[in-house]
Structure 1
Amino acid sequence: MNPYIIPSTLKSRVTHWIALPSLLILLPNYLAFAAITTCPAGYISDEFASTDYSNLGSTASPPILGVNQLLNGLRSESYTIASNSLVTTGSLDAGGSNFYRPKTLAGNLQSFEFFQDFTNKGSSRAVSYTFKNSFTNESQALTNVSLSIYDIDVNYLGTGTGNGGTTAGTRYFEFSDQVTITGFTSAGASVTPTLTYRGIGITTTAPYRQTTTTGSVLCSTDSVDERCKVSVAFNQPIVRVDVSYGNNPNLEYYDNTTGTVGNPGDQLINIVFDGYCYLPQPRLTYTKALSSSRKTNTDQFTVQIKDNADNSVVTNGISSVTTSGSGNTVTTGTGTTGTFKVNPAKTYTLTEAVSGTTNLVDYTALYACRRSDGTTVTTLDPKNLKLTYGDNWACTITNDRSNYVFSGIVFNDNGQITSPAKDDVSTKYLNNSLYFNGRYDSPTESGIPFTTGHTITLNKCAGDSGTFSPQTVNINSDGTYSFNLTSAQVGSYTRLCVTQNEPSNYAYSVDTTSDVRQINIINSQYNYPSNDFGDVIQENAALVLIKSQYVHDCSLNNLATIGVNYEGSANSAYSIKPISGIVPGQCIAYRIEAINRGNVSLTDIVIKDTLQSKNDSNNSLITSTLVNPTPIGENSGTPSFATNSVSIGNNGTVTTNTFSLGATTTATRRHAIRFNTKYGTTISN
């Protein structure tokens, strides 16, 4: 006897038709198409391929789960290994459905069909997706992971009559799906995803389920009906996703097939991975070039990339690695590996092998690599090449006929500071590690454009004997320069020097490096790059002097007792504000602070300040004389005052001895002096 007021032919969700006494309604399907996942710059957007659903899912019951399956994705890029596991809380009906299998939904949407038969409403089952890196076998975090769950519906059967174990007046359901989705970071912390879509009748927070507790919301098992759909996305990288599936515990259940109270019937959901992001496996292209003609036209070269772990040549299977051509021409499409993937966990050696009549002793080799954005790999060791995820390098080996190359760049060492100001000691200078550091920081900094007369000279170094023909070249339009010398020109010199020659109208007149660079010649090394010169305009000079004053009645006994308030009144502290209302016979104490806002130490600094001495409108001589207290240096007497500095009671120039300013701490960046003067109207007072 059926204890429910429902048609006895309604079984389970397999048909997903709603049967009413006089009306049959087929619910509409809404096709859903996953949008391409938006990824950070340099990342690849991908999603599971149909083979990934097949490899991880199972047609068996109970399912045989996929473990350590390399994800194919849609981009043929992935180095991610995925595994599945199932954890059951409570129990499943022994004779019921127990599937976790690949399923094609409407619109050819691939999914995992999670089909279960729980024994009671407290039972649930979680499927876990874990991701590892195929190169390291360690956890692999995926970014912007998004997934959708379809067919989250509820089947209301009817009201109990008090027969067959049911309670009269209680509403019974065959099932009421509920789903919770949780991510985990590589540190094991759980992550709650952001809800990006839900069917109009589904809860706004997990566990996601239909909000109705009085009726049915049914969707066809192979549809993508939006009413029964939830989509989520993770806003931080995760290495694992858990999808927990069960029933709404707040309802009562009846298995209409077996007639069992408290036992939900068969139920299913569909799980779809909409997308995820990851950095692609590194790419490398290695190509041959010749800067001068071959010694013999039959000389040819084979570019090789070797695995440092076992010295094996990983490019042996590429047919285009050997050059053809004559003179300095390499036939297009030869002498190149093309673009291929490398293992980011390994290091490689760039090298070449001979072909034809080649003797490598006749040639020098210059290695250079550029990233996909056009920037140069500045620190390059061709014997220990290591690329990481997202790298795409094009490397070239250029052969010359044993010539030496000396090169560099004249660069603007401004740390990309805009709106420069010569007295600015704000954080845009003090917290800018790239500004005035004596290093070329590409791509933040750039070469200084050519100015007429701006040249570089290569010559023997001062004090060296012998005969060397000095060479001078103009700076190129991008600030670079290069010298190309034969072995005969270099001769037996063990060092050479390059000198920057600045024209008189040169705007970048402040040096951040020496204008002379010494190059040490190493046996069998022919390429000497990065002999760089750093300059900035006057407004970006590292040394800043700030002069402030304090007006008083000449009763001051200790210069150190006066505080510093640059923006305050000159009558209350050392101030940079203009003096007003001073009368003859008053005193002015001065403070001059030297600040190094750059990132290299400054040496041999001398502060000079000439005391006032001029005629006023009545042709009377106005003088300012040095008076007690004795001038002091704030930093334990540093800077000290030179023996020729103006003495007490006289007019002249305050002069310090040389001192240095460091570039690491506030204490070493700043030194100041203080001295007191008396303001008069005639030379006698």
Structure 2
Amino acid sequence: MRLDYERKDLQLINLLSVMLLFIGLSISSAQANFVSNETSAVAACPFNHKMYYIGATPPASTQNFPVASQALNWPAGNTTRTFTFTEASGNKEFVISFPILLDLNSNFGGTPPIFGTFNGVTTSALNLIHNSPAVRTNHSMNVSVNRSVTKVGYKIQDLDSTGTTGRVPYIEQVDVSANQGQLTFNANFHTRNAAGNIVTGRSGLNCSTGECTINASWNYKLANTALNLKHNNSFTQTNSPHAVGYSDFFFCLAPPKIIVNKLLDGSRVDGDDQFRIELRRTDNNAFVQAFTTTGSNDVVTDNTTTVTTLTEGVNYTVSEQIINGNLLDYQTTYTCSNATTGTDVVFRSGEMLINEAGTRRTFAINNVSYGDEITCNVTNTPSQYTFSGIVFNDNGGIVGRDSTRQDISTTFVGNGSYFNGIYDSASEVGLYDSNLSIRLTDCNGTNITTTSANPQPVSNIQATRGRYNFTVPASALVNKTKVCVVENEPSVWDYAVDTNTDNREVTLVANVYTYSNLDFGEVKANNAALVLIKSQYVHECNNNLDYQAVSTNAEDPTVGFSINPIRGVSPGKCIAYSVRAYNRGHVGLQQVQIRDQLQITPVTSVFQQPAPLFIPTSVNSPTVSYGSNGEIRSNVFSLAATPVTASQPNSATLYFNTKYGTTQSN
């Protein structure tokens, strides 16, 4: 419509078209299942969808056509505005913006855009007034919603042309092709392209208020998609101001919808396990939707609901029931994603309600709202417990030899992998014997039901030599707080010394299913951590002998304590002994005891003053006792692990004195 400067009256109109409009769709595959294919009148929402309206005359709200509305207003000259519908289920925001504004004419009440009514032109509209100096796009308008919409639309008022003294100053055109929009048109004043998305005024034909109003609309679009309209001056012969107005904005949200999928990450624990998913209302437990899976092993078929419409304000439950099995045998994750709001909610097995039989879990879907597009994936992973380890030679790579049986040098002490109770794969190897086996028990001697052999031999395959692995259905360990892994060694076994206990107790932790590194370290006798070194000192029966004052490492036993043999000692002399226990390994030694038997043939020896001495006293302060047959022994004590940085291993020493007797005849 051509503008005359005196046309500034405000009027209000509301034009509702009943023409049906079918619109093409272009969306991401992630939401393809939620696309609404319902049709509706051009300026109306599909049946049962909710309309959010911005304008002067909203449609009447009914149960089947709910409408939320607010007035359209606009501060003059603003280039963008957000209209917010505040709701408990989440705010809905409708944004109008003008990224392009050219050739503006400000002589009609201020700088455009201007809200109002121009007499004979537009009614209660957002008005754009332009000069027409050239053929070009003189403004562009975007609308967007922060929800996935089933429809968006508005009215375009006064799209036309005019003629003046045989010359045409402008021909208006609107183009919504960028986002697959659609346009109606009035053949008396417009032409429209075959695709229905570009409408052009007919040259020289000028319309009055309401005569050439058309509708722009878009069907299903993702949240925050900017729906673009370009307003073009498609022809000009002389410069003249002209206006176009936009009014009656609306968008539609579908009732909340949900899809529930059943997924399996891994194979079924029992080959015939199947799963039933049910969707019910919380308020009355009314059945809504369900399916039961088919398939075997890791293949799950018949595993999804159809798109299911929910009711706003009603809460729902999704339950998973296992058929022919036990849900405790699966670790389950429930992930619900709302594509409209871009939110994810994740629940795991331990957070879900489960019935006493262990066959059904349930979780809630609450506060659903118009526009919600919810996808719930119920994913089961077999939650079999795994207990694994290796039987290995804990020698740190040191070959056991007689020559090093009593070696307490840094060869052993400085090798951190030696006798540390830990499998060091770089230097140590797994062990195999056909009579070596591992049991998994309830710690009371009873074997646990497993899906692997129990007891089982360790592997004899080179790459996995010495390894074992138990798999246990979770249902077999219900209400159990611990299990024990027991090593059964062969009756004839070269590896006589353990660096770990043969019975390893495992405390079960909630929702933890893998227990590894339950290893059993072994060494041959020549590589034992406990080294006993005995020295003797020959003297003249000094009952006040100070053991610690006697020199050590002497060559001659008559000079000091010496590991060398005694030769030519006369009866009646005394011999003092030092028996030192070393821990050259890197595991603490428990239940250590030093015992020594005095000789009775060919010469009998007896204990002599001073009293035995045990050093250091900090090592459990052991006392010394005597046997009836000339045996001396310390109480049981412990030897701490020796640090790798130590120059000498941790040790404890028992000193005692004897008197060498007289020769006995046969």
TM-score, with structure 2 as normaliser: 0.40
Rg comparison, structure with higher value: 2
TM-score, with structure 1 as normaliser: 0.39
